[in-house]
Structure 1
């Protein structure tokens, strides 16, 4: 019932914004997977959840996530049918925010990286758009041209073949994943069965 109510509210928001789902009377089960996915994440607006790294291959010599408290916080929900902002806190490091937004053809994922003073990192607002419909539980984001140019400019050659993914299984887990050819895989999963204490705002978004 809660998921149906959340989806109905987002459908109203989409129609009010002029987007199309084939009409607000369209059943949730026939809506675009991108809209259902976004609605499923938006159910958790205002809540935070603890996570753990379940894959980090090949292992790094200096792992920035090791022994750190990992928390995602679904905030930035002013237009939940169009955009969600999800800070990813790594211990006291509040530099990372995932920006998940609706496009005409699917979803877009961008990474907003800030310094403690709120200024933008030189590697920020990178990511990609979905290239297929995905599903209500998983969406993949191959790196876009702008991000490739950014990575090349900053000497991050390995990242030019990145593919990011997000998964949500309501009432169970939310996952963020990075893969690239050659065996690189990073995945962190957050436990949606129990909310945790809300963290401070991410840097630059007080």
Structure 2
């Protein structure tokens, strides 16, 4: 679809959505998501951040669009307004992330201790910290990281979308990593 046609369609859907048409609003969000996802992925890739951060940015942008959709000037194109919100959410995410460098664990596999060293205490620590997660994150982390099921299977089992499972997994693992970092300090 040409950019001009896309802009016209988004504008009409937003006008209908602001007029109270729930189906048009749902359709608009479905159409906006791939464009926002591509924008977020390009932004995090340029910043050297993990692609998993992109989905959080998409969700935060969609939430902001929902909360601020009445502020859009109906005489103006929708894309500049939309991507300004997305740009601000990207910047916010990168600021929260800070200046971390992410490295592949494969680079350090030979220097890591074997799994036998203190594995009982690690298992009990993981279980204890897993119980401290919010229920939704705990279920997703348990399904994927502990039981080893796929994203698709976890989404089906937990009645969630794949995107929601990825977000919950990312947040749950980040929370666990923070807990383990604080234990090590």
Query: TM-score, normalised on structure 2?
Result: 0.28
Higher relative strand content: 1
Higher RCO (CA 8 Å, separation ≥ 6 residues)? 1
Question: Which one has the largest radius of gyration?
Answer: 2
Higher relative helix content: 2
